[in-house]
Structure 1
């Protein structure tokens, strides 16, 4: 399940970048289509991440349990930041604060996911 989770969020980042490029070029319709596909990918990211979290719930290693919950919350925060960046950008509103949140959440998720947690 770990490989499916990594594949789903890599696909999510690629779709996010494509949607941003379309928005920057002023192509609203292709950006909206890619954004809708990205929203479907969010569901797959949440499903595979929830399955990984379930594995941590079944183990009895309490320090990892707290870090897994923290990573899950940061992952949801990351998805929310990505969504808000695309929505605000499409409406022409400032997105600087959401980019800052995106970077902070991404750092937390990557450090916990690749350095601290074994799966």
Structure 2
């Protein structure tokens, strides 16, 4: 479980997922990229749960819970954007919400004790 609770593994998975998301938005037929991205959603959630459980040791369960919820919303907005694009419907709102939730998640991740202390 220590390997899964590594912040580096979690950061690596979401960085790759964001790159895949941007690639999927840019290309015309993102079917394969979208399936690979769904695999990374699962990896992000698994490593996020492991970090969440490790984060309970710091006594800031509510903030870690809010970060977990914001992370799930980021994944949801990524998926909704790609599904709307695939159906040919407007998806700009979901992309904007993706960036809003992404920056909220980043802020909480850097603010919490297991994160890199950029904001101190």
* 2:51 corresponds to 1:20: no
Check conservation: 2:58, 2:113, Cα contact below 8 A: no
User: Which residue does the alignment assign to 2:45?
Assistant: 46
In structure 1, list runs of 5 or more residues that go unmatched.
none
Structure 2 counterpart SS, 1:11: helix
Task: Report the structure, 1 or 2, having the larger helix content.
Answer: 1
Structure 1 counterpart of 2:113: 118
TM-score, length-normalised on structure 1?
Answer: 0.87
Counterparts of 1:74-85 in structure 2 under 5 Å? 74-85=70-81
Distance 1:12 1:92 in 2: 22
Runs of 4+ in structure 1 off by over 3 angstroms are none
SS in 2 for 1:93: coil
Count of matched residue positions in the alignment of Structure 1 and Structure 2:
109
Q: Which residue of 1 aligns with 2:97?
A: 101
Distance in 2 separating the partners of 1:42 and 1:60: 26
> For structure 1, which segment, 40-49 or 94-103, has the greater mean C-alpha deviation from structure 2 after superposition?
94-103
Aligned CA-pair RMSD: 1.0
Provide the residue aligned with 1:11 in structure 2: 16
TM-score (norm 2): 0.87
